[in-house]
Amino acid sequence: MAKTVVDMNEQFMRAAIAAAQKAADMGEVPVGAVVVKNGQIIAVGFNRRESAKNALSHAETEAINNACTALGSWRLEGCDLYVTLEPCPMCAGAILNARISNVYFGAYDAKNGCCGSVCDLFSLPFTHKANAVGGFLADECGALLSEFFKNLRQKG
């Protein structure tokens, strides 16, 4: 039986959740991302700011960098990004600059989210437009973050 678009979206978001769990296992804030083209995952990224000691090592930028390497181009037209947390300003800018078509994110970020929470960079008159769908498997994505920060507070 053929998979529906909803089934594929869930499959891709679950891959992003698995990447977020890998980040958590490394002691990183659990955010994961995958880039998809033609129904196939071509790149994965997860937060590595602490281990890389680099402010630019967000899940989205890691996934975008890996996708550019995989495709041999900075232009990711026709690609979709699935990420467990609403992109921040830097990541939303990277998404626009990479020409990603669609962004599916899980948990909303009331403090830093730039796909509608704090602002919507995708609605501004930039050269490229990306579509964003938020709240996708939000409870699971949010639970990863909540559990991570709860554990961090308990450690002291």
Cβ-Cβ contacts under 8 Å for 95 (sequence gap 6 or more): 60, 64, 81, 87, 103, 130
Q: Which of 28, 60, 62, 86 is catalytic?
A: 60
Can you tell me the distance from the alpha carbon of 36 to that of 112, in angstroms, rounded to the nearest whole number? 24
| CA-derived radius of gyration, the chain | 15
Active site residue 86: no
Q: How many other C-beta atoms are found inside a 10 Å radius of the C-beta of residue 153?
A: 8
Is 79 within 8 Å of 70 (Cβ atoms)? Answer: no
Q: Which residues are catalytic?
A: 60
